[in-house]
């Protein structure tokens, strides 16, 4: 099978920056849960959640009704101690972020971040466009993986495939293949004997059904964000949550010349040092046609839309988060 036709779906344990880089460098489309819930308490992201177009997620009908939206691409930074096997640091992973929500019940459990009466979940996507894979389809694919695991467990239970039928790998593999053949044969023969009633399901259409916008309380009254889960044990990469209070540099239309007490240089000079140290060519490699102009601090997309640098968050000595504002601030931020 060509690598370009492969979609790898992984548990949230593998939703960290090293795995995103691994998939991108291998050219494999990748989908995992994302635990960077601090993004949901970013004012720009929170406003996006208020005005987003939410699509109903197709499901089995046995769980909560989910709705999903696309937040676009983000440059997700690695933890300060996350290193490659050769000791070099990981750069930010540029990936698409999808968010889903469902109404919280009295005993809501599991992953996610609660805002008001809703549980929000985040998913990170590599290599799947929002045209071919709308947000609702992304969430459906992720939970389809869970259904596949349950199907294998069901086959083990009903056909005793988890027994040691052979103490040789080839013999046990033959047993599994026979068991899967019997399982598929039962499905094929069972459908004509027990036909399903004809019905039209809005969730089964190619175009997802548009859902309601959640009533999100103001940011000031939101609960304290949950801490990211503990880092997975990986000798090549150890994730740490970003600093809770990054240094933030607000940028006005005219560069500020206020003195910086730490270095004796102007704020504009310090900002230029940060911007010069960022490899924009590498960051824009996945966005053909996009350009960056350091002299005017302007990012231009492939449609000619110009976005001015608005905020710089210093996440550490080797990483920074940049936010841009265009003519339409609701649709152009990164």
What is the crossing angle of helices 169-193 and 135-159, to 10°? 110
In the chain, what are the domain boundaries? 1-241, 243-325
- Contact assessment for residue 10 and residue 30, using Cβ atoms and an 8 Å cutoff: yes
Q: How far is CA 80 from CA 33, 168, 206, 311, 332, in A?
A: 21, 46, 42, 21, 28
pLDDT digits (tens, 9 = 90+) for 38-95: 888 888 898 888 888 999 998 766 678 899 999 999 999 988 888 888 889 999 999 9
Q: For residues 334 and 326, what is the distance between their CA atoms, to the nearest angstrom?
A: 10
pLDDT digits (tens, 9 = 90+) for 156-172: 888 888 888 888 999 98
Residue with token string 């440059």: 75
pLDDT digits (tens, 9 = 90+) for 247-267: 444 443 333 333 333 334 444
> Hey, how many other C-beta atoms are within 10 angstroms of the C-beta on 76?
21
Average pLDDT over residues 104-119: 78
Is it the case that residue 23 has pLDDT exceeding 90? yes
pTM: 0.55
Is it the case that residue 233 has pLDDT exceeding 60? no
Average pLDDT over residues 216-226: 55
* pLDDT score for 26: 92
* pLDDT score for 120: 93
Q: Count of residues for the chain? A: 334
């Amino acid at each position: 099978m060509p690598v370009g036709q492969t979609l790898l779906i992984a548990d949230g344990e593998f939703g960290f920056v090293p795995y995103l880089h691994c998939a991108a460098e291998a050219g494999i489309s990748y989908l995992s849960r994302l635990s960077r819930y601090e993004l949901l308490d970013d004012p720009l992201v929170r406003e996006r959640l208020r005005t987003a177009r939410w699509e109903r997620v197709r499901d089995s009908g046995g769980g909560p009704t989910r709705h999903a939206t696309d937040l676009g691409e983000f440059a997700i930074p690695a933890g300060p101690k996350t290193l490659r096997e050769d000791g070099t640091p990981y750069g930010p992973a540029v990936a698409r972020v999808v968010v889903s929500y469902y109404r919280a019940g009295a005993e809501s459990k599991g992953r996610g971040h609660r805002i008001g009466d809703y549980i929000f979940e985040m998913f990170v996507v590599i290599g799947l466009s929002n045209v071919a894979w709308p947000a609702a389809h992304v969430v459906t694919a992720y939970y389809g993986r869970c259904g596949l695991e349950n199907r294998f467990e069901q086959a083990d239970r009903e056909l005793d495939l988890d027994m040691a039928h052979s103490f040789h790998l080839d013999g046990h593999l033959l047993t599994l293949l026979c068991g899967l053949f019997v399982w598929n044969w039962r499905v094929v023969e069972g459908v004509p004997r027990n036909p399903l009633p004809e019905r039209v399901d809005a969730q089964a259409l190619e175009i997802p059904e548009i859902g309601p916008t959640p009533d999100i309380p103001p940011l000031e009254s939101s609960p304290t964000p949950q801490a990211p889960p503990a880092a997975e044990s990986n000798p090549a990469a150890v994730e740490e949550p970003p600093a809770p209070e990054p240094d933030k540099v607000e940028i006005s239309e005219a560069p500020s010349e206020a003195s910086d007490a730490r270095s004796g240089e102007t704020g504009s000079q310090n900002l230029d040092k940060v911007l010069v140290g960022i490899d924009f060519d590498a960051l824009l490699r996945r966005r053909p046609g996009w350009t960056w102009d350091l002299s005017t601090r302007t990012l231009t997309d492939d449609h000619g839309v110009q976005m001015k640098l608005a905020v710089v968050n210093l996440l550490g000595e080797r990483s920074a988060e940049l936010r841009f504002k265009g003519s339409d601030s609701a649709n152009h931020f990164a």
